[in-house]
Each structure stands twice: as C-alpha cells, then as structure tokens.
Structure 1
Amino acid sequence: MEHRDPGPDRPHIPVLIGPILAAVGPVTGHWLDGTFGAGGYTRALLDAGAATVTGVDRDPLALDMAAAWRADYGDRLRLVAGNFSELDQHAGQPLDGVVLDLGVSSMQLDQAARGFSFAKDGPLDMRMAQAGTSAADLVNTAAEQALADILYHYGEERASRRIARAIVAARETAPITTTLQLASIVAGCLPRPKPGQSHPATRSFQAIRIAVNTEFNELIEGLMAAERALKPGGMLAVVTFHSLEDRIVKRFFQNRAGRDAQTNRYAPERAEDAARFTLVTKGALAPDADEIAANPRARSSKLRVGQRTTAPAGPVDPEALGVPMLPDTHATRAKFKSAKPKPVHKGSR
C-alpha cells in the first residue's frame, strides 16, 4: 500500500521501505515484487542495487501505469500480469528476494470507479483483476447466512448477522450497485462512530473485498510459492495491514522457522521439520511517527522478514496458520496440507 508524494517523478512511496531495505540489505541479484501496484517497492529495490526485479500484479491498470517510467530501468525490470500466488512460475528462476505488500493499494482506493472505497461513490466492484465475480454480484446473490459468515470470519464484524439481514432486505427492494449504498446499509446497523474511530463500514468492506479476491487463499499460496522460489539465503519481506493477514504471516514464519515443529527438543530433527526460514525480524516492525504523519494509511502496517534456509520446500497446514475458514470451505485445509512442492521453471516466462 502506497501514498502520494508531491514529487513529479516519484508519485508514490511504499510503506515501510526504509525498514525493508535495512532488514534485507544489501540488495543484490534477482528480486520479485509480487504486488507491484504503483511500482514503489520495485523502484526502490532497483535503486538499492537489485540486478533485476520482476514486478507481478493481477491488476492490468497497475502495469499500464508503469509505461511512463519503466524504460528508465531497461531490461533490469520485467513486468508480468498474474497473481503472486504463482510467483515461482512468474520468476522463471530462483530468486534472491521477494517482497509482498498485501491488501488494496492507495491507487485502487483513490479511484472511485474501482469500487473499493466506502468514502467515495462508485460501482460496487472491488475486483483487483477487473474480472470475475464482483462485490455487487456477491452482495446481491449470496444467501443471508453466507453473507453473515463472510462478514464475521473475514471482517471480524460482530454485527455480521444484523448487517447481512439488512443487506438482504435492501436488495429485495432494489439491487445494491454502489459503494455508498452498501456503506449506508452497514452504517445503519451500527452505532454512530466516535471521533477518531474508523468508518462503520470498514470491517464489512474488508470482508467483502477479501471474499471477492480470495485473498487468504492467494496469501497462503503466495507464501508457499516464495518458499519454493527463494534461493538459500534469499529474503522474504511481507507487509500486512490488518490483524488477520498479520496472524497468517506471523504463524507462517514461526512454523517455517521450526518454532512449533519439535515437541521433544532432545529428539533428532526430522527432515520434514527442518527450518525452512530463519527469522530476520523477531517481531513485527511498525512505521515510525514520521511515516504515519506523512501517510496515515500506513498506521496499521506491519513488516515481517525471513531468510530462506537450505531445507526443501514443503506443504503447509492453513489451520496451523490461523487462516479464517468459512463453514463451507474447510476442504481448503486438505488442499494445502496435501500440496506437493512445485519446481521453479528455468528460463524466462
């Protein structure tokens, strides 16, 4: 997630870029920016010494917007349209580093037509890839219980049943097609916020966006793909913006660092339990006061960094990572537990 900077050449500055560069430095070799966005992380990595950066984004607009400056870096920059859940395939070769900036970008929030913002009226869309099922499709067709489950599990919204009931009642009169329509319905179910509190629709919009873009599945797949793609000694830096994301990333690093693998510390280490990462940041790093003052959207961001070991990549159990599961999607757990490591393709994509 990035914020605007008045400089004409650098319209966006990535969140926590200083701590990232300090934690992973020196920056060398081939890096992959799995959430390219406005290109802030990619440009910072190239300027810091990366020989090559592969920028991946599923939003075609993000790649189009890079046309104004990508020539400045020549063949050091590769852009790929795709999901970071397949970043090992997009990389084409083993990587020296991966950076992931999760959630919705400022670029997407600032464009009302993308339908992410409850503060600006626009079509109820929320699709990062601009294809597939939209937020309007979900809100107008999902059963009341399914909506309540999404709001509760993906948004931690305690009033999920009340809000789902209100959505279903409203759509019986007319389809819900705009962001302000939905925000008004949600706000009508909750107390008026006190000064300094977030908008009442914040949690609901987060939950619906996560469902529309299958963000938790993408995150688990992306973390596993990074594990497969990174060279021994390679760095994985992940920036999160809400507690559910951070819990998954935190537990992934703990799990892959072997923190919860051995019940008997005197027993020989099993090959499948060998640490796949060492923790570079012992806890989450947060932005300092200066960064928050310059970019209020950075307030909730957290950074975690791990370094790849020589242990082979392996499957992951989403239950162990605290991944929110909807009642009808528990089969997802078996999918990830039985997943086999994929080879990193050689050569360019």
Structure 2
Amino acid sequence: MEGLRVLADGRYLDGTFGRGGHARGVLDQLGPGGRLLLMDKDPEAIAVAEGAFGADPRVSIRRGSFAHLGDWTLAREGLDGVLLDLGVSSPQLDVAERGFSFGKDGPLDMRMDPDSGESAAQWLAHASDRDIADVLFTYGEERQSRRIARAIVARRETQPLERTGQLADLIASVMPRGDSKTHPATRSFQAIRIFINRELADLETGLDAAFDCLKPGGRLAVISFHSLEDRIVKQFIARKAKAPPTHRRMPVVPDFHPTLRAIGDAQKATSEELAFNPRARSAVLRVAEKLAVAA
C-alpha cells in the first residue's frame, strides 16, 4: 500500500485479484470518486470479486490475464497505480482439485484459467522428453531435468499421468529427497505450472501494458516469488530508469530520457510477517514510478 501511494480520487488496477486482500487495502484508502479495476484469469477469483465488491460503484471487474489489461478501455483512460501479485494463489494451492500442489492429490491440471489451453496432464501425455526436460530446467532450474523427463515418458507408456500424486511419487522415485526438507517434486511442479500458464511471457507483456496505461506519477508495484520473475521485473525497471552502458569505441547513441524511477530497493517480508504468513518467505516487492515525458 505504501508503494502504490493510493490517492483518494485515483484510479487503480489490481491485475491479480486472488481473494481480494490487496483490493480491500486499496478500497480502504479510496474516496467516493476513486476507481478500482479488478482482473483475474481464474473464474473462482472473479466469482469472489463479484460477490464481495460487485455492488461497490467504485469497482469494475473483468476476467482475463493482466497481460491484456491494455485491452480494457477503463485502463487505457489512465491509471494512478497497477499492482501485480505474481504466481499461484493460496486458494489455488489449497484446493486439491486445481492440481497445483504435490502435497494434495488431485487432477493434474495446474491451469489458472481452467477454460483455456492444455492441462498439465494433457501436455505431459504428448511432450517429448527433450521438451519436458527443457521446461523443468528453464523454469524450475531443476538439475535432474533429463532424468525426470525420461521417467515421465517411460511411465506414460504403461500408465497415463493424470493425478498430482502420481507425478509427485514418480519424481520422488527417481531422485530421493535425502537430507533435504524440500520435496523432490517442488521445482518440477513449479516449472510445469509456469509453462502451462505462460506466466513469464504474460509478465513481460503485462509490464509493457501497465507502463502504457500508467499516468505520469503513477506507481507500478510487483510482487514476485521466483528468481526468473523478479529478474524480468528488475530488468524492465532498469531499462526505463537507467541509460544503457556506453563504450568510447561505440557510435554515439541518442540522449537517454528515463521514463521510470525505481522507488527504493527490492523489499522482502519482515520476520514479523513471516511468523504468521510463511508463504511470503520468497516474495520480493519492487515499486517504480512513471515519469513525465521530457519535452
């Protein structure tokens, strides 16, 4: 909330409604002339948003990915702040039927929007071992990606992988946990989820769209939970805030005019927050402010 610097009569967009924690925080600071635009690709989240805030005249709700926020006329009219809370939400992890958690057996789905694209089970049923290994290594930084991919392809020849418990047990069988407290399937589940939902591609598109919709002085606040996400956000801010490096032997480049200003350094949850919200342990918040275009 401090990063967004909510103005009573401002216009804000929460691109990842989830279950409305951030939305409530913004609405508490908005006056009757303020507006809050809510987005989420998850139909269950949208149902919660409509039930909780649908009657509030300050609120507008739209189902869809924040990657397409620029398609919303209300957003193109100018925003004073955009909030993106990336990754899977707690309700999605906690409901076994959504297929995100290796700790709760359910259908191997993993789609944030269950009406769009292939499920994890459908993709794993036809992807080559090379493609699977590439996903596990690229998005999960899983060192045993090839071994796990070969095991998946071998298993599906005799038994389709349709449950999260099946996949988690298979991964554990080819790379035992040892002394680690982390489940062997952690990185693989994360990687498959990111791939299935196009999370990194959507983030890159969404950051550009958010920047275009922000008014000068508007704030962008992004919470990431994965090093690849945070790197994309960090580099996006840096490209617009800092002049590219130069070299005396290179041709003269045009003058650089920053269009974003980083607000402080990356922030992480305090020990006090972690005591009651342990899922915030890997969260990183970055905030930037859009600058006026130079004359």
Structure-1-length-normalised TM-score: 0.78
- TM-aligned CA deviation for residue 269 of structure 1: 7.4
Q: Which residue of 2 aligns with 1:122?
A: 106
Report the AA paired with residue 274 of structure 1.
H
Mapped pair 1:85 → 2:67 = yes
Shift of the 26–65 alpha-carbon distance from structure 1 to 2, 3 Å rule, reads: closer
Q: Which residue of 2 aligns with 1:338?
A: none
Task: Pick the aligned partner of 1:138 from 112, 119, 123.
Answer: 123
Equivalent pair of 1:279/1:305 in contact (CA under 8 Å): yes
Which blocks of at least 5 consecutive residues in structure 1 are unaligned? 1-20, 313-349
Task: Pick the aligned partner of 1:34 from 5, 11, 15.
Answer: 15
- TM-aligned CA deviation for residue 268 of structure 1: 8.5
Report the AA paired with residue 279 of structure 1.
A
- TM-aligned CA deviation for residue 71 of structure 1: 4.6
Deviations 1:215-252 (A, max 9, x none): 11100000000110000010000000011111111111
Pairwise mapping of residues 38-187 of structure 1 onto structure 2 (< 5 A)? 38-49=19-30, 51-71=34-54, 74-90=56-72, 91-131=75-115, 132-187=117-172
In structure 1, C-alpha distance between the alignment counterparts of 2:113 and 2:245, rounded to whole Å: 37
Q: Which residue of 1 aligns with 2:4?
A: 24
Aligned length: 286
In structure 2, C-alpha distance between the alignment counterparts of 1:118 and 1:130, rounded to whole Å: 18
In structure 2, C-alpha distance between the alignment counterparts of 1:229 and 1:67, rounded to whole Å: 24
- TM-aligned CA deviation for residue 88 of structure 1: 2.1
Pairwise mapping of residues 1-349 of structure 1 onto structure 2 (< 5 A)? 21-28=1-8, 29-49=10-30, 51-71=34-54, 74-90=56-72, 91-131=75-115, 132-194=117-179, 197-260=181-244, 270=254, 273-281=256-264, 283-311=265-293
Report the AA paired with residue 14 of structure 2.
D
Equivalent pair of 1:118/1:201 in contact (CA under 8 Å): yes
Runs (4+) of structure 1 moved beyond 6 Å?
none
- TM-aligned CA deviation for residue 176 of structure 1: 0.1
Q: What is the Cα-based RMSD across aligned positions, in Å?
A: 1.9
Equivalent pair of 2:3/2:219 in contact (CA under 8 Å): no
Which blocks of at least 5 consecutive residues in structure 2 are unaligned? none
In structure 1, C-alpha distance between the alignment counterparts of 2:78 and 2:178, rounded to whole Å: 49
Deviations 1:323-349 (A, max 9, x none): xxxxxxxxxxxxxxxxxxxxxxxxxxx
Report the AA paired with residue 22 of structure 1.
E
